[in-house]
């Protein structure tokens, strides 16, 4: 500990700024987009602002790579750069880039003004990145708010559709409620341990008997984060919000904020070694998988179907929290990455097919897609197979690591529930594949050719999905470093 | 022969079809060329796969042509392949049937030809992979990989209720294999390896923690996945649907090879990893097998649909295989393996024959035919030979296997042998009765009078099946002398078990 009158305590050093470099980059680009918006003529601003935003996310990727050379704490021990935060920074920036690529075409087709949209995506990414590097609960809360508020607004961006405003409002009201839970949990945790710093909390919890307050604090924080990752029983908002929000935004908010919230959960559960987590996880994981999959069985709207599927997928991820740190953490991280690849990709396809005003989003509209657009159908099929968990896709190894982490902690019951659930889940993903390939083509649903931005987005997601399915070792090894770093 | 070739042989045989499929992806849509290319690829693969039996060390009991490379370090997954006498012949069966499938689909598939042959070749790779994988993970990988092309073959290229059949097929096998995945994961969690041989040794030496409590569940986890695939009664309901709706090539591979994945799995994994549990569960499994034999035969008897009849006959024949495997006798297991091969050839042949008729009349209803021997004499002769092989006439391939299985079952418990033997009689009844209704008597429907006899291409597809059926019946030792050592190795733990029990 440095003394109180040391200058470094008061004035942030250059090293401190390196610790939040990706966030700074994203924020600067976001503000640039907002400032430029009024100066660029209406016709051209779509593309220009989109490209600036894309550059912003790519710059954030570079900043993350640069930052990874300088691990350590910054800003009075509030942010920490470690392999964990680098992993999630990279993931969030990559998702942002792919979503922006998807949005080019979408914004044009839907005739939505681009300016604030791209800025909000970048601001959201700032919050999500910060969530993964913050090691202080109040900062985590602020980051969570930055990320949430951006996504609330993004959900309502289909200005002409009432359902989109409904989605935004619903998300906002329930989301604020959930963050309040989180904040309450933080307050109780502070009461129990006298600190909001995750490492101090971990030490305090190890040092003496765990007070009841700490259990309640953990449970309340879990409620707040459970809402953000759409885990049952805090999932009721998900289908409505996903149905109303613009399709690329759903691709974004079903992956990036979810990954960030899982990052916070990992910090709270494993780095702070939260007490009493096992039963919480058991119940919530089992509920999420079961309710999500059962709900998905009867959906006819593709966006709602994937909403329920994302609830179930959150359940699978939660299983790994029951595992031991040495493989549980890596399993969750791997899952978030491969889930991001397949889900962003799936929503990219959906946003392309949905057409103006998102008219074509029911299962019927996908009839005969295998004939009308063999390439899109094949790509979507691969993402769906990955969501089922079929080998040579990332989704397979994701499930695999999660289940094997839980088995090593002897959670046989939970794994059996998970395995049965993934069997049930294969039914509704398969339904979509069947509709695409085995029904007669519908002529009244036009499929336009794939524009270059969307093509790039699809190529990246597809490559990531297959790469993680064939050579998962490197990413997993990288993720596994976290456990050793935290154990020190 | 160079060892380098030996080492890469399994990889080549497994992945040549996949490579062919990838090349087809970039082929121009000229249907004739696509068909020709698929035929060349599958023939090449067949010729290469013949290297396996030719250079096989007959006396040796260990796995041969092994390759073992690290694929993924965490989890510890190896690219480990190898064959013994049983799996080697199943590989050759697969490569033998695929060119015939290409030939038989020449004209019947005339829409989306490219996709069809891509799926067929991908399916072939997955099927071979299942038989050669010695890493449990790799095995599961190929196992699941067979599902998608097969389901698509049925669902896209099949007949009337194809979608229903494809989804049913997919879900049945998918759900069942989840149990196997859970068991594999458990084994990995406790042993830290997926390697079949290492896990087998660890179990044998009692080094697996908590094994005693979990063993029965693990056994059942594997068994249920295999039982659905075989299919063992009462998990058989997907099979008739899948067969009736599948295109001919799909049916040939489904009956000829896919079902054997189940029985092969029982032999390799249920017996190989859990000898004690196999022993203690054998009685009810054998009862199910007997029910399958008799029930399958009786239901086949009353089918008005030719393809459904053959499908139910498969359930009956595969019952013999299960009966032989769980008799734990040398003769029983030798016979079971031989039935697997024989059934692949003869039932594959029957499905091709049914498909040929369907191409001409677009129906499988037996009542639509009658007196076909008059307009189609060559066809009737082929049908006769292959049908008699399926019935189990001595000198044709069906007889040897069933005889061995029955003698094994009889040695295990006489009543099993006796009940099983009735299955042979039933199969003679339903097949001969079907033959009589289709081929003898007067031509009842005038359309049938003008049916063309077999074309040269169709003969080319049927000749190999008929010839092999005869050779297998006359010289079974060509096959059995490679199968025998593998069975001996598999049965070694059972001899120890028996002596342990006697010792007590």
**Residues in B 100-159 with any Cβ partner in A closer than 8 A:** 140-141, 144-145, 147-148, 152, 155-156
Answer yes or no: do A430 and B140 touch at CB < 8 A: no
Give the residue among A170, A467, A477 at the shortest CA–CA distance from A341: A467
Cβ contacts (< 8 Å) between B73 and chain A: which residues?
473, 477
Q: Which of A422, A437, A480 minimises the CB distance to B156?
A: A437
Q: How high is the pLDDT of residue A486?
A: 82
Q: How high is the pLDDT of residue B157?
A: 87
Give the residue among B192, B183, B291, B179 at the shortest CA–CA distance from B236: B291
Q: Which of B25, B69, B72 to mutate to test the interface with A (most CBs of A within 10 A)?
A: B72
Count CA within 13 A, CB hemisphere, residue B426.
Answer: 27
Give the residue among A404, A389, A198 at the shortest CA–CA distance from A312: A389
Extents of the domains making up chain B: 274-504
How far B72 CA sits from the closest chain A CA (Å)? 6
pLDDT band at A285 (very low <50, low <70, confident <90, very high): very high
Q: How far is CA B218 from CA A162, B187, B221, in A?
A: 53, 8, 5
Q: How far is CA B456 from CA A102, B10, B251, B385, in A?
A: 54, 33, 22, 18
Partners of A439 in beta bridges? none
Q: How high is the pLDDT of residue A149?
A: 93
Q: Which of B181, B218, B247 to mutate to test the interface with A (most CBs of A within 10 A)?
A: B181
> Per CB distance under 8 Å, which residues of A are interface residues toward B?
370, 385, 390-392, 400-401, 403-404, 407-408, 412, 415-416, 419-420, 422-423, 426-427, 430-431, 434, 437-439, 471-473, 476-477, 480
Q: Which of A419, A467, A484 to mutate to test the interface with B (most CBs of B within 10 A)?
A: A419
Partners of B72 in beta bridges? B77
Q: Which of A391, A395, A428 to mutate to test the interface with B (most CBs of B within 10 A)?
A: A391
How far A303 CA sits from the closest chain B CA (Å)? 22
Answer yes or no: do B186 and A400 touch at CB < 8 A: no
Answer yes or no: do A434 and B74 touch at CB < 8 A: no
| Smallest CA–CA distance from A406 into chain B, residue | B189
Answer yes or no: do A419 and B170 touch at CB < 8 A: no
Answer yes or no: do A423 and B175 touch at CB < 8 A: yes
Structure tokens at A178: 């959930």
Q: How high is the pLDDT of residue A263?
A: 93
Cβ contacts (< 8 Å) between A430 and chain B: which residues?
167, 170-171
Count CA within 13 A, CB hemisphere, residue B33.
Answer: 8
Partners of A301 in beta bridges? A362
Answer yes or no: do B72 and A471 touch at CB < 8 A: yes
pLDDT in tens, A315-368: 999 999 888 888 889 999 999 999 999 999 999 999 999 888 888 888 888 888
Q: How is A77-139 classified by DSSP, letter by letter?
A: TTEEESHHHHHHHHHHHHHHHHHHHHHHHHHHHHT---HHHHHHHHHHHHHHHHHHHB-BHHH
Tell me which DSSP letter residue A9 carries.
G
Q: A412-438 and A277-297 helices cross at what angle (nearest 10)?
A: 20
Establish if B189 touches chain A: CB-CB under 8 angstroms.
Answer: yes
Map residue B344 onto helix, strand or coil.
Answer: helix
Map residue B135 onto helix, strand or coil.
Answer: strand
Extents of the domains making up chain A: 10-487
Complex prediction ipTM: 0.75
Cβ contacts (< 8 Å) between A398 and chain B: which residues?
none
Considering just the CA atoms, what is the radius of gyration of chain A in Å?
A: 21
Taking CB atoms and an 8 Å cut-off, how many pairs form between chains A and B?
72
Distance CA A85, CA A22 (A): 11
How far B338 CA sits from the closest chain A CA (Å)? 31
Q: Which of B178, B214, B215 to mutate to test the interface with A (most CBs of A within 10 A)?
A: B178
Q: Which of B174, B181, B182 minimises the CB distance to A426?
A: B174
Q: Which of A438, A439, A480 minimises the CB distance to B74?
A: A480
Structure tokens at A220: 């309340």
Q: How is B9-35 classified by DSSP, letter by letter?
A: HHHHHHHHHHHHHHHHHTS-S-HHHHH
- Per DSSP, helices labelled H in A112-211 are 115-133, 137-155, 162-193, 198-207
How far B145 CA sits from the closest chain A CA (Å)? 7
Count CA within 13 A, CB hemisphere, residue A85.
Answer: 33
Assign residue B328 a region (left: φ > 0; alpha: ψ between -120 and 50; beta: otherwise): left
Map residue A251 onto helix, strand or coil.
Answer: helix
Answer yes or no: do B155 and A407 touch at CB < 8 A: no
**Residues in B 45-74 with any Cβ partner in A closer than 8 A:** 72-74
Give the residue among B119, B241, B229, B219 at the shortest CA–CA distance from B172: B229
The residue behind tokens 């990838």 is B22
Cβ neighbours around A487 below 10 Å, total? 10
Average per-residue pLDDT in chain A? 88
B71 phi and psi angles, rounded to 5 deg: -105, -55
Q: How high is the pLDDT of residue B220?
A: 92
On whether the pTM is more than 0.80, the answer is yes
Distance CA A439, CA A433 (A): 10
Cβ neighbours around A180 below 10 Å, total? 13
Q: What is the mean pLDDT of residues A365-378?
A: 86
Q: Which of A404, A434, A472 minimises the CB distance to B185?
A: A404
Considering just the CA atoms, what is the radius of gyration of chain B in Å?
A: 22
Worst-scoring range by mean pLDDT, A216-220, A238-242, A271-275, A404-408? A271-275
Q: How high is the pLDDT of residue B500?
A: 59
Q: How is B171-225 classified by DSSP, letter by letter?
A: HHHHHHHHHHHHHHHHHHHHHS--BHHHHHHHHHTT-STTHHHHHHHHHHHHHHH
Cβ contacts (< 8 Å) between A416 and chain B: which residues?
182
Q: Which residues of A295-316 are buried (b: 16+ CB within 10 A; e: fewer)?
A: bbeebeebbbbbbbbbbbbbbb
Q: How high is the pLDDT of residue B1?
A: 45
The residue behind tokens 């068991």 is B183
Cβ contacts (< 8 Å) between B141 and chain A: which residues?
391-392
Q: What are the pLDDT tens digits along chain B (504 aa)?
A: 457 777 888 899 999 999 999 898 888 878 888 899 999 999 999 999 998 888 888 877 788 888 888 887 777 888 899 998 899 999 999 999 999 999 988 888 888 888 889 999 999 999 999 999 999 989 998 998 898 889 888 888 888 888 888 888 888 888 888 889 889 988 888 888 889 988 988 888 888 887 888 888 999 999 999 999 988 888 888 888 888 888 988 899 998 899 999 999 999 999 989 988 888 898 899 999 999 999 999 999 998 989 999 999 999 999 999 999 998 888 899 999 999 999 999 999 999 999 998 888 888 888 888 888 888 889 999 999 999 999 888 888 888 888 999 998 888 888 888 888 888 888 888 999 999 988 888 888 888 888 888 888 888 989 999 999 999 988 888 888 888 888 888 888 887 776 655 544
pLDDT in tens, A136-187: 999 999 999 999 999 999 999 888 888 888 999 999 999 999 999 999 999 9
């Amino acid at each position: 500990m440095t003394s109180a009158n040391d200058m470094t305590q008061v004035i942030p050093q250059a090293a401190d700024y390196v610790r939040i470099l990706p966030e700074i980059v994203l924020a600067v680009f976001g503000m640039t987009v907002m400032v430029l918006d009024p100066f660029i003529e209406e016709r051209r601003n779509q593309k220009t602002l989109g490209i600036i935003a894309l550059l912003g996310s790519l710059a954030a990727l570079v900043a993350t790579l640069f930052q990874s050379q300088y691990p350590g704490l910054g800003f009075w021990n509030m942010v920490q750069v470690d392999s964990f935060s680098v992993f999630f920074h990279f993931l969030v920036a990559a998702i942002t880039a792919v979503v922006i690529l998807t949005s080019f075409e979408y914004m044009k087709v839907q005739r939505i003004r681009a300016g604030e949209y791209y800025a909000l995506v970048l601001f959201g990414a700032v919050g999500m990145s910060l969530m993964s590097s913050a090691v202080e609960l109040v900062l985590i809360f602020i980051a969570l708010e930055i990320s949430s508020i951006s996504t609330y607004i993004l959900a309502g961006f289909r200005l002409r559709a009432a359902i989109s405003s409904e989605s935004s409002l619903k998300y906002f009201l329930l989301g604020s409620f959930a963050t309040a839970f989180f904040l309450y949990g933080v307050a109780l945790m502070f009461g129990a341990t006298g600190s909001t710093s995750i490492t101090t909390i971990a030490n305090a919890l190890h040092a003496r008997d765990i007070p009841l307050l700490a259990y309640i604090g953990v449970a309340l924080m879990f409620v707040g984060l459970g809402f953000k990752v759409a885990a049952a029983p805090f999932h009721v908002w998900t289908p409505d919000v996903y149905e109303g929000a613009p399709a690329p935004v759903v691709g974004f908010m079903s992956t990036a904020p979810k990954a960030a919230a899982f990052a916070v959960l990992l910090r709270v559960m494993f780095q702070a070694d939260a007490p009493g987590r096992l039963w919480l996880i058991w119940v919530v994981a089992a509920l999420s998988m079961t309710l999500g999959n059962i709900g998905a069985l009867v959906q006819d709207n593709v966006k709602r179907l994937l909403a329920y599927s994302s609830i179930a997928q959150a359940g699978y991820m939660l299983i790994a929290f029951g595992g031991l740190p040495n493989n549980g953490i890596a399993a969750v991280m791997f899952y978030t990455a491969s889930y991001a690849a397949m889900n962003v990709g799936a929503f990219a396809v959906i946003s392309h097919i949905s057409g103006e005003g998102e008219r074509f989003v029911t299962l019927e509209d996908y009839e005969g897609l295998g004939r009308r657009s063999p390439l899109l159908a094949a790509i979507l099929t691969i993402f769906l197979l990955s969501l089922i968990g079929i080998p040579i896709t990332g989704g397979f190894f994701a499930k695999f690591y999660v289940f094997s982490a839980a088995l090593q902690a002897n959670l046989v019951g939970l794994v059996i529930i998970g395995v049965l659930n993934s069997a049930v889940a294969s039914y509704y993903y398969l339904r979509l594949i069947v509709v695409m390939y085995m029904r007669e083509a519908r002529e009244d649903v036009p499929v336009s050719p794939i524009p270059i931005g969307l093509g790039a987005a699809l190529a990246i997601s597809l490559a990531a999905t297959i790469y993680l399915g064939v050579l998962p070792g490197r990413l997993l090894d990288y993720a596994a470093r976290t456990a050793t770093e935290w154990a020190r | 022969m160079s060892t380098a070739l030996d080492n890469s042989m399994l990889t080549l045989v497994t992945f040549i079809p996949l490579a062919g499929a990838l090349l087809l992806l970039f082929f121009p849509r000229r249907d004739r060329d696509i068909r020709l290319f698929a035929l060349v690829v599958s023939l090449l693969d067949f010729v290469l796969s013949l290297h396996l039996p030719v250079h096989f060390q007959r006396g040796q009991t260990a796995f041969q042509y092994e390759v073992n490379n690290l694929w993924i370090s965490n989890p510890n997954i190896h690219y480990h392949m190898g064959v013994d006498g049983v799996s080697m012949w199943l590989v050759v069966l697969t490569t033998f049937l695929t060119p015939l499938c290409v030939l038989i689909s020449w004209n019947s598939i005339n829409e989306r030809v490219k996709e069809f042959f891509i799926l067929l070749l991908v399916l072939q790779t997955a099927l071979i992979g299942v038989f050669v994988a010695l890493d449990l993970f790799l095995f599961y990988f190929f196992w699941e990989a067979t599902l998608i092309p097969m389901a698509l073959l049925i669902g896209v290229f099949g007949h009337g209720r194809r979608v229903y059949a494809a989804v049913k097929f997919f879900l049945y096998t998918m759900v069942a294999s989840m149990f196997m995945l859970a068991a594999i994961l458990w084994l990995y969690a406790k042993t830290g390896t997926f390697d079949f041989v290492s896990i087998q040794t660890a179990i044998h030496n009692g080094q697996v923690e908590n094994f005693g409590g979990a063993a029965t569940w693990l056994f059942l986890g594997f068994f249920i996945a295999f039982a659905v695939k075989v299919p063992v009664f009462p998990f058989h309901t997907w099979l008739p649907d899948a067969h009736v709706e599948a295109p001919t090539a799909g049916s040939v591979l489904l009956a000829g090879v896919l079902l054997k994945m189940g029985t092969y799995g029982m032999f390799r994994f249920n017996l190989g990893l859990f000898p004690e549990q196999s022993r203690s569960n054998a009685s009810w499994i054998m009862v199910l097998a007997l029910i399958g034999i008799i029930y399958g035969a009786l239901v086949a008897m009353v089918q008005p649909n030719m393809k459904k009849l053959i499908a139910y006959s498969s359930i009956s024949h595969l019952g013999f295989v299960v009966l032989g495997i769980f008799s734990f006798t040398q003769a029983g297991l030798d016979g079971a393996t031989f039935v697997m091969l024989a059934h692949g050839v003869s039932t594959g042949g029957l499905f091709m024959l049914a498909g040929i008729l369907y191409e001409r009349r677009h129906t499988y209803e037996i009542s639509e035919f009658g007196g076909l021997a008059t307009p189609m004499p060559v066809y009737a002769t082929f049908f006769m030979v292959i049908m008699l092989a399926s019935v189990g006439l001595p000198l044709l391939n069906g007889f040897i296997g069933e005889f061995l299985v029955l003698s094994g079952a009889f040695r295990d418990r006489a009543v099993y042998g006796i009940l099983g033997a009735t299955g042979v009689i039933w199969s003679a009844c339903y097949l001969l009765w079907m033959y009589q209704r289709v081929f003898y008597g007067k031509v009842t429907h005038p359309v049938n009078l003008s049916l063309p006899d077999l074309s040269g291409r169709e003969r080319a597809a049927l000749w190999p099946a008929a010839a092999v059926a005869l050779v297998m019946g006359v010289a079974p030792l060509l096959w059995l002398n490679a199968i025998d050592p593998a069975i001996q190795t598999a049965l070694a733990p059972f001899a120890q078990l028996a002596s342990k029990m006697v010792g007590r």
